[in-house]
Structure formats: structure tokens, C-alpha cells
């Protein structure tokens, strides 16, 4: 596993497991299998309603807590100062833990400044190790950080070969915020695994299109959290640290970028 160093010195795995839609016993088994094959970052959210099984899988994995990196996100009924204060303690309890590694505002809605104040207080007292945001576009991000005493360590946003947001990544870099991608595989909005150019490039390296996609993002310094409940796919997603893409191949992949969201989030 490779690690990134966040703006407060905390080290975060560059690749983790997204857990959207992983619930109940099947979800627990999927998270446990991911941990068993080498994942160390698990990304969840209040919205996912699965923090308890994330905590149980982490405990049952018998992996030392300091080796794990757990992210959660707050939105909806938690979109206020009091909501985040309550949510932090609730999440820690559901994880059967004493701290959260990374806590994010899930969406740029609600009382974001009150939410962030609560996150900063949790950071100061050791309940979280790093704080950040999710789904803030460039304008919202730049407006937000003008009022922040603590620059967000992470901005988790949509990013894939059809909407890389590499230009936004440069803005984030300039201010010390790490970009983390959700929807690396487009969540089914496009059949990215059958994209001819990606399939062609993958054959050159004896890799899959999925591995090429993740490698492309990682080589641009983007953290990734692909979701998979299948242990073979989980292992495949981890198998991206033993090759590098040529500059020519990266230039070819860049041509796929339509610079338009597939989710109309922005």
C-alpha cells in the first residue's frame, strides 16, 4: 500500500474501500474480505447506514487499530453544529472505537460553517485525526476556505476518466487539500470497463481496464475508494502498485475526459 501525507501530517492510504450500499451480513463479509486482502482504509458515511458493520469488521479483522484508517461523513440530519457534535460521538460508539481518522462534511449544504466548527473541535480534542469536506466544487471550496481556520485535509469528489477534475486538483494542491475520488468506475453510468482505449492499454500491461483506471488516478496523486463486494475484484483493485503508465498512455486516457459530471452533482 502507498500512503499520502495530509496537510496536518497524518498519513492516509492512497487506495481504500468505498462502502456505499454495503449493508447487513453481506456488507460485513465484504468489508472483512477487503481487510483480509490488504485494504486499510474504509470509507463510510452516516448516509450509508453501515457504520456499525464497518466497526465490527474492523474489530473482527484483528488488524491493529493504528494500521487502519476509517473515514465517515456527515449530512442530512447532521448538517449543523449540534448535529455533527452528536454525530461524531455516535459514530465513535458505532465503530466501538475511541476516534475517527477522517471526518468530512458530506455535502456543501446546511450549516457548513457550524458543521466545520464542530469538526475542528473534535480535531482539537482528539476524537478525529483529520477533517475535510466532500462534493465542494471549485467555487464553493474557495469561498469556504476563506472562513476556515483549518484548511480541509481532503475534498472527496466525483472523478473518473470522463470527468477527471485534474484542473480542480491543482487548485486543491495549491491550498493544501488532498483530492479523493469517488465513482472511479462511474458507478455504472458508463461501461468504463469496456472502453476500447482502456482495454487496449490494459492489454499492454497485462492488466484489466479497472486497474488502468485506478493507476491513472493514483499517478496523478488522487486518492481512490472504489467499492466492490467481490473478493476477486477487491484484490484486482489492489493490484495497481506494480506497474506505471507511459506518458503516451496517460495522454490517450486524458482524451476521454469530457469535463462534465455524470451525476449532475455540480
- The residues annotated as belonging to the active site are 48
Half-sphere exposure of 251 (CA within 13 A, CB side): 3
Closest to 160 in 3D by CA, of 199, 240, 217, 218: 217
Task: Classify strands 11-13 and 17-18 as parallel, antiparallel or unpaired.
Answer: unpaired
Please report which residue ranges of the chain form alpha helices under DSSP H: 24-37, 51-60, 81-94, 112-124, 138-145, 166-175, 196-205, 209-219, 231-238, 247-254
Q: How far apart are CA 50 and CA 91, in angstroms?
A: 10
In which residue are the cell numbers 486538483 written?
A: 169
> The C-alpha cell of 233 is what?
475484484
Q: How far apart are CA 232 and CA 238, in angstroms?
A: 10
Orientation angle between helical segments 51-60 and 24-37, nearest 10 degrees = 40
Q: Is 242 exposed, middle or buried (0-12, 13-18, 19+ CB in 10 A)?
A: exposed
H or E element in which residue 224 lies? strand 223-224
In which residue are the cell numbers 465517515 written?
A: 72
> The C-alpha cell of 70 is what?
476509517
Amino acid at each position: 500500500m502507498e500512503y499520502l501525507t495530509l496537510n496536518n501530517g497524518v498519513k492516509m492510504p492512497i487506495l481504500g474501500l468505498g462502502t456505499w450500499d454495503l449493508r447487513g451480513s453481506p456488507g460485513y463479509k465484504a468489508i472483512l474480505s477487503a481487510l483480509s486482502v490488504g485494504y486499510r482504509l474504509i470509507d463510510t458515511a452516516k448516509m450509508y447506514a453501515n457504520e456499525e458493520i464497518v466497526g465490527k469488521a474492523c474489530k473482527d479483522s484483528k488488524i491493529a487499530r493504528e494500521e487502519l484508517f476509517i473515514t465517515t461523513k456527515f449530512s442530512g440530519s447532521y448538517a449543523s453544529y449540534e448535529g455533527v457534535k452528536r454525530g461524531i460521538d455516535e459514530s465513535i460508539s458505532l465503530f466501538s472505537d475511541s476516534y475517527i481518522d477522517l471526518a468530512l462534511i458530506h455535502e456543501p449544504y446546511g450549516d457548513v460553517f457550524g458543521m466545520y466548527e464542530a469538526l475542528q473541535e473534535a480535531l482539537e480534542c482528539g476524537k478525529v485525526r483529520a477533517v475535510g469536506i466532500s462534493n465542494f466544487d471549485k467555487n464553493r471550496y474557495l469561498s469556504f476556505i476563506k472562513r476556515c481556520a483549518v484548511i480541509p485535509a481532503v475534498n472527496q469528489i466525483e472523478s473518473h476518466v470522463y470527468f477527471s477534475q485534474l484542473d480542480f486538483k491543482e487548485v486543491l494542491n495549491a491550498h493544501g487539500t488532498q483530492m479523493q475520488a469517488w465513482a472511479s468506475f462511474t458507478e455504472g453510468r458508463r461501461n468504463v470497463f469496456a472502453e476500447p482505449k482502456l482495454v487496449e492499454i490494459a492489454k499492454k500491461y497485462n492488466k484489466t481496464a479497472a486497474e488502468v483506471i485506478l493507476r491513472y488516478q493514483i499517478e496523478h496523486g488522487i486518492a481512490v475508494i472504489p467499492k466492490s463486494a467481490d473478493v476477486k475484484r477487491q484484490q484486482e483493485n489492489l493490484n495497481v502498485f506494480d506497474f506505471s503508465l507511459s506518458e503516451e498512455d496517460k495522454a490517450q486516457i486524458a482524451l476521454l475526459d469530457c469535463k462534465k459530471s455524470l451525476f449532475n452533482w455540480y
